[in-house]
Structure 1
Amino acid sequence: MTATTRSQTKQNQTRVEDFEPKEENKAQGQGSKSKRAATTKRKKETEPRSERKRTQSDNQTNAEDAARSTKKQKQKQPSLKPEEDVSPAGDATKPVLINRAPVLQLWAACVSQALYPVLPWATHLSIGSAISTLCAIAKGRAIGLIEKPSDDPAERAEKERKRRAAEEGADDEINVMRFRLLLKDGGAIVSGRPQKANEVLLRNKFGQGDEYERVKRAMEEAIDTWRNRGQEKEFNVKAFHMYEEFRPSVQRGQGGWGKKGELRPEKIREVVSRD
Protein backbone atom coordinates (compact mmCIF):
# COMPACT_ATOMS: atom_id res chain seq x y z
CA MET A 1 0.00 0.00 0.00
CA THR A 2 1.41 3.41 -0.97
CA ALA A 3 2.37 5.54 2.01
CA THR A 4 0.58 8.87 2.30
CA THR A 5 1.34 12.06 4.21
CA ARG A 6 -2.31 12.59 5.01
CA SER A 7 -3.53 12.13 8.57
CA GLN A 8 -4.84 8.65 9.31
CA THR A 9 -7.75 10.00 11.45
CA LYS A 10 -11.10 9.52 9.70
CA GLN A 11 -13.31 12.63 9.75
CA ASN A 12 -16.98 12.75 8.88
CA GLN A 13 -18.08 15.33 6.35
CA THR A 14 -19.71 18.37 7.93
CA ARG A 15 -23.48 18.59 7.12
CA VAL A 16 -25.99 21.42 7.41
CA GLU A 17 -28.31 19.38 9.59
CA ASP A 18 -25.62 19.11 12.25
CA PHE A 19 -26.26 22.75 13.10
CA GLU A 20 -30.12 22.46 13.20
CA PRO A 21 -31.83 21.79 16.59
CA LYS A 22 -34.29 18.91 16.95
CA GLU A 23 -38.03 19.69 16.62
CA GLU A 24 -38.85 19.04 20.29
CA ASN A 25 -36.08 21.36 21.48
CA LYS A 26 -36.68 24.23 19.06
CA ALA A 27 -39.12 26.13 21.24
CA GLN A 28 -37.07 25.77 24.40
CA GLY A 29 -33.73 26.47 22.84
CA GLN A 30 -34.54 29.52 20.71
CA GLY A 31 -34.06 31.93 23.59
CA SER A 32 -30.77 30.50 24.77
CA LYS A 33 -29.44 29.84 21.27
CA SER A 34 -28.80 33.50 20.51
CA LYS A 35 -27.25 33.95 23.95
CA ARG A 36 -24.81 31.09 23.48
CA ALA A 37 -23.89 32.27 19.99
CA ALA A 38 -23.14 35.74 21.33
CA THR A 39 -21.00 34.34 24.14
CA THR A 40 -19.01 32.16 21.70
CA LYS A 41 -18.48 35.09 19.38
CA ARG A 42 -17.19 37.28 22.20
CA LYS A 43 -14.86 34.52 23.36
CA LYS A 44 -13.33 34.13 19.91
CA GLU A 45 -12.96 37.88 19.54
CA THR A 46 -11.20 38.20 22.89
CA GLU A 47 -8.84 35.27 22.19
CA PRO A 48 -5.44 36.56 20.98
CA ARG A 49 -4.91 36.03 17.26
CA SER A 50 -1.31 34.79 17.76
CA GLU A 51 -2.57 32.12 20.19
CA ARG A 52 -5.11 30.84 17.66
CA LYS A 53 -2.45 30.75 14.95
CA ARG A 54 0.00 28.87 17.19
CA THR A 55 -2.67 26.29 18.09
CA GLN A 56 -3.41 25.63 14.42
CA SER A 57 0.31 25.29 13.65
CA ASP A 58 0.79 22.81 16.51
CA ASN A 59 -2.12 20.70 15.28
CA GLN A 60 -0.70 20.64 11.76
CA THR A 61 2.78 19.68 13.02
CA ASN A 62 1.39 16.80 15.08
CA ALA A 63 -0.52 15.49 12.08
CA GLU A 64 2.62 15.61 9.87
CA ASP A 65 4.73 13.83 12.53
CA ALA A 66 2.14 11.07 12.79
CA ALA A 67 2.09 10.68 9.00
CA ARG A 68 5.92 10.47 8.81
CA SER A 69 6.00 7.89 11.61
CA THR A 70 3.43 5.75 9.80
CA LYS A 71 5.37 6.02 6.52
CA LYS A 72 8.64 5.02 8.22
CA GLN A 73 7.05 1.94 9.78
CA LYS A 74 5.69 0.84 6.42
CA GLN A 75 9.07 1.24 4.77
CA LYS A 76 10.72 -1.02 7.36
CA GLN A 77 8.40 -3.90 6.57
CA PRO A 78 9.95 -6.35 4.05
CA SER A 79 8.19 -6.56 0.71
CA LEU A 80 8.56 -10.15 -0.45
CA LYS A 81 6.44 -11.52 -3.21
CA PRO A 82 4.95 -14.98 -2.65
CA GLU A 83 6.76 -16.39 -5.65
CA GLU A 84 10.22 -15.14 -4.59
CA ASP A 85 12.70 -17.83 -3.56
CA VAL A 86 14.48 -16.70 -0.41
CA SER A 87 16.52 -19.86 0.01
CA PRO A 88 20.23 -19.14 -0.68
CA ALA A 89 20.85 -22.84 -1.27
CA GLY A 90 18.42 -22.98 -4.18
CA ASP A 91 21.15 -22.60 -6.86
CA ALA A 92 23.80 -24.68 -5.10
CA THR A 93 22.47 -27.98 -6.48
CA LYS A 94 20.99 -26.59 -9.68
CA PRO A 95 22.21 -28.69 -12.66
CA VAL A 96 24.29 -27.08 -15.40
CA LEU A 97 23.16 -27.61 -18.99
CA ILE A 98 26.31 -28.10 -21.06
CA ASN A 99 27.98 -30.43 -23.55
CA ARG A 100 30.80 -32.75 -22.63
CA ALA A 101 33.87 -31.09 -24.16
CA PRO A 102 34.06 -28.08 -21.78
CA VAL A 103 33.46 -30.36 -18.79
CA LEU A 104 36.34 -32.63 -19.80
CA GLN A 105 38.61 -29.64 -20.40
CA LEU A 106 37.95 -28.19 -16.95
CA TRP A 107 38.22 -31.57 -15.24
CA ALA A 108 41.54 -32.37 -16.95
CA ALA A 109 42.86 -28.92 -16.00
CA CYS A 110 41.92 -29.49 -12.33
CA VAL A 111 43.51 -32.94 -12.36
CA SER A 112 46.67 -31.52 -13.94
CA GLN A 113 46.80 -28.80 -11.29
CA ALA A 114 46.70 -31.43 -8.55
CA LEU A 115 49.45 -33.49 -10.19
CA TYR A 116 51.72 -30.61 -11.23
CA PRO A 117 51.03 -27.71 -8.83
CA VAL A 118 54.19 -25.81 -9.87
CA LEU A 119 52.75 -25.13 -13.34
CA PRO A 120 50.61 -22.02 -13.89
CA TRP A 121 46.84 -22.29 -14.27
CA ALA A 122 47.08 -21.20 -17.92
CA THR A 123 49.21 -24.27 -18.66
CA HIS A 124 46.71 -26.53 -16.92
CA LEU A 125 43.93 -25.04 -19.06
CA SER A 126 46.04 -25.77 -22.15
CA ILE A 127 46.52 -29.36 -20.99
CA GLY A 128 42.78 -29.70 -20.46
CA SER A 129 42.11 -28.27 -23.91
CA ALA A 130 44.58 -30.71 -25.47
CA ILE A 131 42.97 -33.73 -23.79
CA SER A 132 39.48 -32.54 -24.76
CA THR A 133 40.60 -32.05 -28.38
CA LEU A 134 42.23 -35.49 -28.59
CA CYS A 135 39.10 -37.15 -27.19
CA ALA A 136 36.83 -35.24 -29.57
CA ILE A 137 38.93 -36.35 -32.56
CA ALA A 138 38.87 -39.97 -31.41
CA LYS A 139 35.11 -39.85 -30.81
CA GLY A 140 34.44 -38.18 -34.16
CA ARG A 141 36.37 -40.86 -35.98
CA ALA A 142 34.63 -43.63 -34.07
CA ILE A 143 31.15 -42.43 -35.06
CA GLY A 144 32.10 -41.50 -38.61
CA LEU A 145 32.00 -37.71 -38.34
CA ILE A 146 35.78 -37.20 -38.70
CA GLU A 147 37.88 -38.91 -41.33
CA LYS A 148 40.34 -41.50 -40.15
CA PRO A 149 44.09 -40.96 -40.65
CA SER A 150 45.23 -41.27 -44.19
CA ASP A 151 47.06 -44.42 -45.31
CA ASP A 152 49.15 -42.43 -47.76
CA PRO A 153 52.84 -43.06 -46.96
CA ALA A 154 53.82 -39.44 -47.69
CA GLU A 155 51.22 -38.01 -45.32
CA ARG A 156 52.14 -40.48 -42.59
CA ALA A 157 55.82 -39.59 -42.96
CA GLU A 158 55.05 -35.86 -42.71
CA LYS A 159 53.01 -36.44 -39.60
CA GLU A 160 55.84 -38.42 -38.02
CA ARG A 161 58.30 -35.65 -38.84
CA LYS A 162 56.16 -33.07 -37.08
CA ARG A 163 55.85 -35.31 -34.07
CA ARG A 164 59.60 -35.69 -33.74
CA ALA A 165 60.19 -32.00 -34.22
CA ALA A 166 57.71 -31.26 -31.48
CA GLU A 167 59.41 -33.70 -29.16
CA GLU A 168 62.83 -32.20 -29.83
CA GLY A 169 61.66 -28.67 -29.11
CA ALA A 170 59.51 -29.56 -26.11
CA ASP A 171 60.26 -28.02 -22.74
CA ASP A 172 58.76 -30.81 -20.67
CA GLU A 173 56.69 -33.97 -20.75
CA ILE A 174 53.75 -34.80 -18.47
CA ASN A 175 51.19 -37.54 -17.97
CA VAL A 176 47.62 -36.54 -17.10
CA MET A 177 44.81 -39.11 -16.99
CA ARG A 178 47.03 -41.52 -19.02
CA PHE A 179 47.58 -38.89 -21.72
CA ARG A 180 51.26 -38.33 -22.49
CA LEU A 181 51.65 -34.69 -23.45
CA LEU A 182 54.58 -32.48 -24.39
CA LEU A 183 54.77 -28.88 -23.20
CA LYS A 184 56.26 -25.98 -25.08
CA ASP A 185 56.05 -22.27 -24.28
CA GLY A 186 53.58 -22.98 -21.47
CA GLY A 187 51.16 -24.96 -23.65
CA ALA A 188 50.44 -28.62 -24.44
CA ILE A 189 51.40 -29.63 -27.98
CA VAL A 190 48.70 -31.02 -30.30
CA SER A 191 49.48 -31.72 -33.97
CA GLY A 192 52.89 -30.10 -33.58
CA ARG A 193 51.62 -26.82 -32.09
CA PRO A 194 51.04 -25.65 -28.51
CA GLN A 195 47.36 -25.64 -27.61
CA LYS A 196 46.09 -22.20 -26.62
CA ALA A 197 44.17 -21.71 -23.37
CA ASN A 198 41.23 -19.32 -23.20
CA GLU A 199 39.52 -19.33 -19.83
CA VAL A 200 37.04 -16.61 -20.82
CA LEU A 201 35.76 -18.74 -23.68
CA LEU A 202 35.61 -21.81 -21.45
CA ARG A 203 33.73 -19.89 -18.74
CA ASN A 204 31.14 -18.64 -21.24
CA LYS A 205 30.38 -22.21 -22.30
CA PHE A 206 29.12 -22.88 -18.78
CA GLY A 207 26.65 -19.98 -18.89
CA GLN A 208 26.40 -16.36 -17.79
CA GLY A 209 25.86 -17.06 -14.07
CA ASP A 210 28.13 -18.71 -11.49
CA GLU A 211 27.97 -22.16 -13.12
CA TYR A 212 31.67 -22.19 -13.99
CA GLU A 213 32.72 -21.34 -10.43
CA ARG A 214 30.31 -23.90 -8.91
CA VAL A 215 31.57 -26.74 -11.12
CA LYS A 216 35.24 -25.82 -10.70
CA ARG A 217 34.85 -25.64 -6.92
CA ALA A 218 33.14 -29.05 -6.85
CA MET A 219 35.97 -30.58 -8.89
CA GLU A 220 38.72 -29.08 -6.73
CA GLU A 221 37.03 -30.11 -3.48
CA ALA A 222 36.56 -33.66 -4.77
CA ILE A 223 40.20 -33.91 -5.89
CA ASP A 224 41.41 -32.62 -2.50
CA THR A 225 40.03 -35.76 -0.86
CA TRP A 226 42.59 -37.77 -2.85
CA ARG A 227 45.43 -35.32 -2.32
CA ASN A 228 44.90 -35.46 1.43
CA ARG A 229 45.35 -39.21 1.30
CA GLY A 230 48.57 -38.90 -0.70
CA GLN A 231 47.27 -41.09 -3.55
CA GLU A 232 47.82 -38.78 -6.53
CA LYS A 233 49.22 -41.55 -8.75
CA GLU A 234 46.25 -43.82 -8.17
CA PHE A 235 43.91 -40.92 -8.71
CA ASN A 236 45.60 -40.10 -12.03
CA VAL A 237 44.86 -43.61 -13.26
CA LYS A 238 41.18 -43.44 -12.26
CA ALA A 239 40.49 -39.80 -13.14
CA PHE A 240 39.22 -40.38 -16.69
CA HIS A 241 36.92 -43.16 -15.54
CA MET A 242 35.52 -40.78 -12.91
CA TYR A 243 34.78 -38.24 -15.63
CA GLU A 244 32.88 -40.88 -17.60
CA GLU A 245 30.64 -41.42 -14.57
CA PHE A 246 29.69 -37.82 -13.79
CA ARG A 247 29.80 -36.27 -17.30
CA PRO A 248 26.54 -34.97 -18.86
CA SER A 249 24.32 -37.71 -20.20
CA VAL A 250 23.58 -37.43 -23.93
CA GLN A 251 22.36 -39.69 -26.70
CA ARG A 252 24.82 -42.26 -28.01
CA GLY A 253 26.42 -42.03 -31.44
CA GLN A 254 26.00 -39.17 -33.86
CA GLY A 255 22.72 -38.11 -32.21
CA GLY A 256 24.59 -36.94 -29.11
CA TRP A 257 27.48 -35.20 -30.90
CA GLY A 258 27.76 -31.67 -29.56
CA LYS A 259 24.48 -31.96 -27.64
CA LYS A 260 23.98 -30.62 -24.13
CA GLY A 261 23.11 -32.60 -21.04
CA GLU A 262 22.76 -31.99 -17.32
CA LEU A 263 25.86 -31.82 -15.14
CA ARG A 264 25.27 -31.97 -11.38
CA PRO A 265 28.10 -30.62 -9.21
CA GLU A 266 27.11 -32.82 -6.28
CA LYS A 267 27.51 -35.91 -8.46
CA ILE A 268 31.16 -34.99 -9.07
CA ARG A 269 31.84 -35.12 -5.33
CA GLU A 270 29.87 -38.34 -5.00
CA VAL A 271 31.70 -40.17 -7.77
CA VAL A 272 35.19 -39.09 -6.75
CA SER A 273 34.67 -39.90 -3.08
CA ARG A 274 33.29 -43.35 -3.97
CA ASP A 275 36.05 -44.46 -6.39
Structure 2
Amino acid sequence: MPATTRSKSNLQQTHLEDFEDKPQKEKANTSKSRRPNASKTKDATTGTSSKRKQPEDEEKPQKASRPTKKQKETHKEASVKPEEDDEDNKPVIINRAPVLQLWAACVAQKLYPKLSWNTHLSIGSAVSALCAISKGRAIGTIDQPTDDPGKKAEKEKKKQSAGKGADDEVDVMSFKLLLKDGSAIVSGKPQKANEAALIKKYGEAEYERTKKAMEEAIDAFEAKAKKGELNRTAFHMYEEFRPSVQHGQGGWGKKGELRLEKIMELAEKR
Protein backbone atom coordinates (compact mmCIF):
# COMPACT_ATOMS: atom_id res chain seq x y z
CA MET A 1 0.00 0.00 0.00
CA PRO A 2 1.61 3.25 -0.87
CA ALA A 3 1.99 5.99 1.68
CA THR A 4 -0.78 8.50 1.25
CA THR A 5 -0.12 12.15 0.99
CA ARG A 6 -2.70 14.04 2.93
CA SER A 7 -3.65 17.66 3.13
CA LYS A 8 -1.15 19.31 5.42
CA SER A 9 -3.89 21.07 7.33
CA ASN A 10 -5.79 17.84 8.12
CA LEU A 11 -2.87 15.61 9.20
CA GLN A 12 -3.26 14.19 12.69
CA GLN A 13 -1.01 11.95 14.68
CA THR A 14 -1.74 9.28 17.24
CA HIS A 15 -0.39 10.08 20.70
CA LEU A 16 -0.28 7.70 23.63
CA GLU A 17 -0.24 10.22 26.34
CA ASP A 18 -3.86 11.33 25.81
CA PHE A 19 12.23 -22.23 29.69
CA GLU A 20 25.27 -48.28 35.79
CA ASP A 21 24.09 -50.50 38.46
CA LYS A 22 24.68 -54.25 38.42
CA PRO A 23 21.67 -56.50 37.82
CA GLN A 24 19.94 -57.64 40.99
CA LYS A 25 20.88 -61.15 42.28
CA GLU A 26 18.38 -63.83 41.58
CA LYS A 27 16.65 -65.36 44.56
CA ALA A 28 17.56 -69.00 45.09
CA ASN A 29 14.89 -71.37 43.90
CA THR A 30 13.96 -73.25 47.09
CA SER A 31 10.98 -75.10 45.75
CA LYS A 32 11.64 -78.76 44.92
CA SER A 33 10.14 -80.39 41.87
CA ARG A 34 7.46 -82.88 42.72
CA ARG A 35 7.62 -84.73 39.43
CA PRO A 36 8.60 -88.40 39.65
CA ASN A 37 12.22 -89.15 38.58
CA ALA A 38 12.76 -85.39 37.99
CA SER A 39 15.55 -84.89 40.56
CA LYS A 40 17.07 -88.37 40.74
CA THR A 41 17.81 -91.06 38.10
CA LYS A 42 18.81 -94.70 38.71
CA ASP A 43 21.95 -96.14 37.07
CA ALA A 44 21.01 -99.32 35.16
CA THR A 45 24.29 -101.18 35.97
CA THR A 46 25.06 -100.10 39.52
CA GLY A 47 21.57 -99.58 40.82
CA THR A 48 22.69 -96.41 42.50
CA SER A 49 20.86 -93.19 42.17
CA SER A 50 22.52 -89.93 41.16
CA LYS A 51 21.32 -86.33 41.12
CA ARG A 52 20.57 -84.95 37.72
CA LYS A 53 22.82 -82.04 36.96
CA GLN A 54 21.64 -79.00 35.04
CA PRO A 55 23.69 -78.45 31.87
CA GLU A 56 26.30 -75.76 32.35
CA ASP A 57 25.38 -74.00 29.16
CA GLU A 58 21.82 -73.45 30.33
CA GLU A 59 21.56 -70.16 32.20
CA LYS A 60 18.62 -68.89 34.11
CA PRO A 61 17.02 -65.81 32.54
CA GLN A 62 17.90 -62.60 34.37
CA LYS A 63 15.45 -59.90 35.21
CA ALA A 64 15.93 -56.73 33.20
CA SER A 65 17.36 -54.04 35.46
CA ARG A 66 15.70 -50.64 35.53
CA PRO A 67 17.73 -47.73 34.13
CA THR A 68 19.40 -45.67 36.84
CA LYS A 69 18.79 -41.98 37.32
CA LYS A 70 22.13 -41.23 35.71
CA GLN A 71 21.27 -43.34 32.66
CA LYS A 72 17.93 -41.57 32.31
CA GLU A 73 19.60 -38.15 32.42
CA THR A 74 22.18 -39.26 29.85
CA HIS A 75 19.41 -40.48 27.55
CA LYS A 76 17.48 -37.24 28.02
CA GLU A 77 20.52 -35.11 27.21
CA ALA A 78 21.18 -37.19 24.10
CA SER A 79 17.62 -36.70 22.86
CA VAL A 80 17.64 -32.91 23.47
CA LYS A 81 21.11 -32.17 22.17
CA PRO A 82 20.31 -32.11 18.43
CA GLU A 83 17.66 -29.43 18.95
CA GLU A 84 19.91 -27.35 21.17
CA ASP A 85 22.66 -27.51 18.57
CA ASP A 86 20.31 -26.27 15.85
CA GLU A 87 21.11 -22.59 15.39
CA ASP A 88 17.64 -21.87 14.02
CA ASN A 89 16.01 -22.96 17.28
CA LYS A 90 18.19 -20.96 19.62
CA PRO A 91 16.30 -18.13 21.35
CA VAL A 92 17.47 -14.55 20.93
CA ILE A 93 18.23 -12.92 24.29
CA ILE A 94 17.14 -9.29 24.07
CA ASN A 95 14.84 -6.74 25.66
CA ARG A 96 11.47 -5.77 24.24
CA ALA A 97 12.10 -2.34 22.68
CA PRO A 98 14.40 -3.51 19.84
CA VAL A 99 11.99 -6.39 19.12
CA LEU A 100 9.03 -4.00 18.75
CA GLN A 101 11.10 -1.59 16.66
CA LEU A 102 12.17 -4.26 14.18
CA TRP A 103 8.73 -5.87 14.06
CA ALA A 104 7.00 -2.52 13.38
CA ALA A 105 9.58 -1.74 10.68
CA CYS A 106 8.90 -5.08 8.97
CA VAL A 107 5.15 -4.50 9.16
CA ALA A 108 5.57 -0.99 7.71
CA GLN A 109 7.69 -2.46 4.92
CA LYS A 110 4.81 -4.77 3.99
CA LEU A 111 2.17 -2.06 4.22
CA TYR A 112 4.17 0.68 2.48
CA PRO A 113 6.64 -1.06 0.13
CA LYS A 114 7.41 2.16 -1.78
CA LEU A 115 8.97 3.80 1.28
CA SER A 116 12.68 3.26 1.97
CA TRP A 117 13.94 0.82 4.58
CA ASN A 118 15.32 3.79 6.53
CA THR A 119 11.80 5.24 6.72
CA HIS A 120 10.46 1.85 7.83
CA LEU A 121 13.07 1.79 10.60
CA SER A 122 12.09 5.33 11.61
CA ILE A 123 8.44 4.24 11.82
CA GLY A 124 9.48 1.26 13.95
CA SER A 125 11.48 3.55 16.21
CA ALA A 126 8.46 5.86 16.59
CA VAL A 127 6.11 2.99 17.52
CA SER A 128 8.64 1.68 20.03
CA ALA A 129 9.14 5.16 21.53
CA LEU A 130 5.39 5.80 21.92
CA CYS A 131 4.88 2.43 23.61
CA ALA A 132 7.86 3.02 25.93
CA ILE A 133 6.43 6.40 26.98
CA SER A 134 3.00 4.91 27.63
CA LYS A 135 4.42 1.93 29.56
CA GLY A 136 6.82 4.12 31.53
CA ARG A 137 4.01 6.38 32.68
CA ALA A 138 1.85 3.38 33.60
CA ILE A 139 4.49 1.87 35.90
CA GLY A 140 5.83 5.16 37.20
CA THR A 141 9.27 5.26 35.59
CA ILE A 142 8.33 8.25 33.39
CA ASP A 143 6.58 11.34 34.71
CA GLN A 144 2.98 11.99 33.76
CA PRO A 145 2.26 14.89 31.37
CA THR A 146 2.59 18.28 32.99
CA ASP A 147 -0.53 20.10 34.16
CA ASP A 148 1.10 23.48 33.72
CA PRO A 149 -1.05 25.37 31.17
CA GLY A 150 1.92 27.22 29.71
CA LYS A 151 3.97 24.07 29.10
CA LYS A 152 0.96 22.23 27.69
CA ALA A 153 0.29 25.05 25.25
CA GLU A 154 3.94 25.11 24.16
CA LYS A 155 3.92 21.36 23.59
CA GLU A 156 0.73 21.54 21.57
CA LYS A 157 2.21 24.30 19.46
CA LYS A 158 5.20 22.11 18.60
CA LYS A 159 2.89 19.31 17.56
CA GLN A 160 0.88 21.54 15.31
CA SER A 161 4.04 22.92 13.78
CA ALA A 162 5.31 19.43 13.07
CA GLY A 163 1.96 18.55 11.52
CA LYS A 164 2.05 21.53 9.18
CA GLY A 165 5.50 20.63 7.95
CA ALA A 166 4.66 16.94 7.47
CA ASP A 167 4.34 15.63 3.95
CA ASP A 168 2.87 12.15 4.54
CA GLU A 169 0.85 10.18 7.06
CA VAL A 170 0.97 6.41 7.68
CA ASP A 171 -1.04 4.00 9.78
CA VAL A 172 1.11 1.15 11.12
CA MET A 173 -0.28 -1.30 13.71
CA SER A 174 -3.02 1.29 14.38
CA PHE A 175 -0.48 4.02 15.14
CA LYS A 176 -1.09 7.05 12.96
CA LEU A 177 2.21 8.76 12.33
CA LEU A 178 3.25 11.85 10.41
CA LEU A 179 6.28 11.67 8.13
CA LYS A 180 8.60 14.49 7.33
CA ASP A 181 11.64 14.11 5.09
CA GLY A 182 11.42 10.33 5.40
CA SER A 183 11.26 10.29 9.22
CA ALA A 184 8.35 9.63 11.55
CA ILE A 185 7.45 12.43 13.98
CA VAL A 186 6.98 11.87 17.72
CA SER A 187 6.17 14.84 19.98
CA GLY A 188 7.22 17.21 17.22
CA LYS A 189 10.60 15.55 16.71
CA PRO A 190 11.75 13.22 13.91
CA GLN A 191 12.74 9.69 14.84
CA LYS A 192 15.96 9.08 12.95
CA ALA A 193 16.67 5.60 11.62
CA ASN A 194 19.81 4.08 13.14
CA GLU A 195 20.14 0.53 11.89
CA ALA A 196 23.74 0.22 13.15
CA ALA A 197 22.59 0.83 16.73
CA LEU A 198 19.78 -1.66 16.33
CA ILE A 199 22.14 -4.32 14.93
CA LYS A 200 24.46 -3.77 17.91
CA LYS A 201 21.63 -4.56 20.33
CA TYR A 202 20.97 -7.88 18.61
CA GLY A 203 24.38 -8.83 17.31
CA GLU A 204 24.79 -9.02 13.54
CA ALA A 205 23.95 -12.71 13.08
CA GLU A 206 20.94 -12.56 15.44
CA TYR A 207 19.67 -9.38 13.79
CA GLU A 208 19.65 -10.99 10.35
CA ARG A 209 18.07 -14.16 11.71
CA THR A 210 15.33 -12.22 13.52
CA LYS A 211 14.59 -9.95 10.57
CA LYS A 212 14.31 -12.93 8.23
CA ALA A 213 11.97 -14.77 10.64
CA MET A 214 9.72 -11.69 10.96
CA GLU A 215 9.56 -11.07 7.21
CA GLU A 216 8.75 -14.72 6.47
CA ALA A 217 6.01 -14.74 9.14
CA ILE A 218 4.46 -11.54 7.75
CA ASP A 219 4.50 -12.97 4.20
CA ALA A 220 2.84 -16.17 5.43
CA PHE A 221 0.20 -14.15 7.29
CA GLU A 222 -0.55 -11.84 4.37
CA ALA A 223 -0.89 -14.78 1.97
CA LYS A 224 -4.16 -15.79 3.62
CA ALA A 225 -5.27 -12.66 5.49
CA LYS A 226 -8.07 -10.30 4.59
CA LYS A 227 -7.28 -6.77 3.54
CA GLY A 228 -6.25 -4.64 6.51
CA GLU A 229 -6.00 -7.61 8.89
CA LEU A 230 -2.22 -7.35 9.29
CA ASN A 231 -2.48 -3.76 10.42
CA ARG A 232 -5.21 -4.60 12.93
CA THR A 233 -3.55 -7.67 14.47
CA ALA A 234 0.23 -7.07 14.17
CA PHE A 235 0.53 -5.41 17.59
CA HIS A 236 -1.44 -8.21 19.29
CA MET A 237 0.87 -10.74 17.64
CA TYR A 238 3.86 -8.86 19.08
CA GLU A 239 2.31 -9.03 22.55
CA GLU A 240 2.18 -12.84 22.22
CA PHE A 241 5.72 -13.50 20.94
CA ARG A 242 7.67 -10.72 22.70
CA PRO A 243 10.33 -11.71 25.28
CA SER A 244 8.91 -12.69 28.66
CA VAL A 245 10.06 -10.43 31.49
CA GLN A 246 8.92 -9.60 35.00
CA HIS A 247 5.84 -7.41 35.25
CA GLY A 248 6.05 -3.80 36.39
CA GLN A 249 9.22 -1.90 37.14
CA GLY A 250 11.17 -5.13 37.76
CA GLY A 251 11.00 -5.99 34.07
CA TRP A 252 11.69 -2.48 32.74
CA GLY A 253 14.53 -2.74 30.21
CA LYS A 254 15.31 -6.36 31.17
CA LYS A 255 16.24 -9.02 28.63
CA GLY A 256 14.26 -12.15 27.92
CA GLU A 257 14.04 -15.00 25.40
CA LEU A 258 12.66 -14.27 21.96
CA ARG A 259 11.58 -17.55 20.32
CA LEU A 260 11.63 -16.97 16.57
CA GLU A 261 9.66 -20.12 15.76
CA LYS A 262 6.76 -18.74 17.78
CA ILE A 263 6.41 -15.79 15.37
CA MET A 264 5.72 -18.15 12.48
CA GLU A 265 3.40 -20.29 14.62
CA LEU A 266 1.29 -17.21 15.39
CA ALA A 267 1.27 -16.13 11.76
CA GLU A 268 0.06 -19.54 10.62
CA LYS A 269 -2.68 -19.61 13.28
CA ARG A 270 -4.35 -16.46 12.01
Q: CA deviation at 1:229?
A: 3.0
**1:22 aligned residue:** none
How far apart, CA to CA, are the structure 1 residues paired with 2:227 and 2:173?
Answer: 11
**1:19 aligned residue:** none
Q: CA deviation at 1:159?
A: 1.0
**Aligned residue among 218, 223, 228 for 1:223:** 218
What is the DSSP-based 3-state SS (H/G/I as helix, E as strand, rest coil) of the residue aligned with 1:92? helix
How far apart, CA to CA, are the structure 1 residues paired with 2:264 and 2:84?
Answer: 20
Q: CA deviation at 1:228?
A: 2.3
1:235 alignment partner AA: L
**1:266 aligned residue:** 261
- The structure where helix makes up a greater share of residues is 1
How far apart, CA to CA, are the structure 2 residues paired with 1:204 and 1:211?
Answer: 10
1:204 alignment partner AA: K
Q: CA deviation at 1:86?
A: 9.6
When residues 153 and 142 of structure 1 are mapped into structure 2, their CA distance, relative to the original with a 3 A threshold, is same
When residues 180 and 87 of structure 1 are mapped into structure 2, their CA distance, relative to the original with a 3 A threshold, is closer
> Larger Rg: 1 or 2?
1
What is the DSSP-based 3-state SS (H/G/I as helix, E as strand, rest coil) of the residue aligned with 1:117? coil
TM-score for both structures, normalised by structure 1: 0.66
**2:74 aligned residue:** none
* TM alignment of 1:29-48, pairs within 5 A: none
**Aligned residue among 180, 183, 187 for 1:184:** 180
**2:232 aligned residue:** 237
* TM alignment of 1:120-269, pairs within 5 A: 120-208=116-204, 210-229=205-224, 231-269=226-264
Give the number of aligned pairs: 190
- 1:60-118 Cα distance to aligned partner (Å, 9 max, x none): xxxxxxxxxxxxxxxxxxxxxxxxx9999711110000000000000000000000000
How far apart, CA to CA, are the structure 1 residues paired with 2:104 and 2:194?
Answer: 14
How large is the Cα RMSD of the aligned pairs?
1.7
2:104 equivalent to 1:108: yes
Identity %, equivalent residues: 65
Contact 1:115 1:232 in 2 (8 A): no
1:249 alignment partner AA: S
How far apart, CA to CA, are the structure 1 residues paired with 2:92 and 2:151?
Answer: 42
Contact 1:182 1:188 in 2 (8 A): yes
**2:75 aligned residue:** none
How far apart, CA to CA, are the structure 1 residues paired with 2:241 and 2:155?
Answer: 35
When residues 139 and 87 of structure 1 are mapped into structure 2, their CA distance, relative to the original with a 3 A threshold, is closer
When residues 87 and 238 of structure 1 are mapped into structure 2, their CA distance, relative to the original with a 3 A threshold, is closer
2:261 alignment partner AA: E
Contact 1:177 1:240 in 2 (8 A): yes
TM-score for both structures, normalised by structure 2: 0.68
How far apart, CA to CA, are the structure 2 residues paired with 1:271 and 1:126?
Answer: 25
